Amino acid sequence: MELSLQIYFFSGTGNARTVVQWFADTALKRNIPAETIDIAKTDRKKIQPPPPHSLVGFVSPTHGFNYPPAMMYFIFRFPRSKGNSVFLMNTRAGLKLSKWFVPGLSGIALWLSALVLLLKGYRIVGLRSIDLPSNWISFHPGVKEKVVESIYSHCKGITIRFASKILDGKKVYTAFRDIIQDLLISPISIGYFFVGRFVLAKSFYATSACDKCDICIDNCPVKAILTVDARPFWSYRCESCMRCMNNCPKRAIETAHGYIIGIMCLLNMGIMVWFWQWVGNFVTIPTGNGWAKLGVTLTGWILTFAVMVLSYRIYHYLLRIPGIRDFFYFTSLTRFKFWRRYKPSRQMIAKI
């Protein structure tokens, strides 16, 4: 039976998209028809079960030691297998120190998705991480163009070798090399899923350099940016994929480090201290009453979340005032010239 290939992918800044392209090109060179599907441009409800016995692939960046929620939800709702084989890949935050290529960390990204697909009846034939440059520029300046080029050409060979083996019908489980470290860091992925990603979603803002071109709004893969008070406003749908920040033509999107630190201090030293004092004054929790303790803890979390939602809304409103806007701009590390954006250019990729 003739093999056909479908690869579903999510990509913020283009790393995962390029891996998909390298894989599909390898297939096409062998006359294997390859369909690449960007899940951000696809209506999940219209996804049909893959043709019987076709090969299916999923490729996505790693976010907080897991696949981003958009990819996770997609896999959770993906149709059941009709005798299909599946391979899973994640792109990670690769670095290059001197001559050494330093890998990123996957956590549960491949394992959880593989388990879900196994339960849906798929046969897992490949698990591979690809260490393309880190795009997380809220935390570090974008990797230099020369290093990006070097990491890309290193990873292209790795991807093509992996693709060739999979297309030859072999099984490749390179990800097993990392399983111990992946399991050790897996608890962090839970913290990122429930807390970290929401904090990060609220770290972006548009400076006065924004000319309201709406490019960020139109290109967001999960339609997370709204227009509020005639300026971009980041909603909780944001996956922190970094596409908007890296591609704003006016370099008008910054990470609000000052605001994030301020709100953390407010919560840890102010509001939550008051909350625990209030609990202590009015409610006596009998020792050993686990349910009462759980109730108070949950209330604490709900309060924290409510403060965060409200404060981002107030913050966004206050950014209209020039002095306040300048203060937050001043406390954003991403404003410095040396804090490069991450944009692997198509010309650079094409010439590798």
Ligand X SMILES: Cc1cc2nc3c(=O)[nH]c(=O)nc-3n(C[C@H](O)[C@H](O)[C@H](O)COP(=O)(O)O)c2cc1C
Q: Which residues here bind ligand X, judged by CB under 6 A?
A: 11-17, 61-65, 91-93, 104-105, 107, 132, 134-136, 200, 240-242
| CB neighbourhood size of 133 (10 A) | 26
Residue 72, binding choice from ligand SF4, ligand X, none, Cβ under 5 to 8 Å by partner class: none
Side chain identity at residue 153, one-letter code: S
Residue 62, binding choice from ligand SF4, ligand X, none, Cβ under 5 to 8 Å by partner class: ligand X
Which CB, 240 or 334, lies closer to ligand SF4? 240
Which CB, 35 or 211, lies closer to ligand SF4? 211
Residue ranges of E strands in the chain? 5-9, 34-38, 55-61, 85-91, 95-97, 100-102, 123-130, 204-206, 225-228, 231-234, 253-255
Closest contact distance (angstroms) between CB of 334 and ligand SF4 is 13
Which CB, 15 or 247, lies closer to ligand X? 15
Residue 246, binding choice from ligand X, ligand SF4, none, Cβ under 5 to 8 Å by partner class: none
Which positions touch ligand SF4 (CB under 6 A)? 12, 206, 210-216, 220-222, 224-225, 232, 234, 238-244, 248, 250, 252-253
Which CB, 50 or 68, lies closer to ligand SF4? 68
Which CB, 20 or 238, lies closer to ligand SF4? 238
Quote the CA–CA distance of 319 and 95 in Å, as a whole number. Answer: 35
Residue 105, binding choice from ligand X, ligand SF4, none, Cβ under 5 to 8 Å by partner class: ligand X
The DSSP result for 135-201, as a single string, is: --TTTSPPPPHHHHHHHHHHHHHHHHHHHHHHHTT--B-GGGGGHHHHHHHHHHHHHIIIIIHHHHH
Q: List CB contacts of 192: < 8 A, sequence separation 6 or more.
A: 63, 64, 65, 66
Closest contact distance (angstroms) between CB of 130 and ligand X is 8
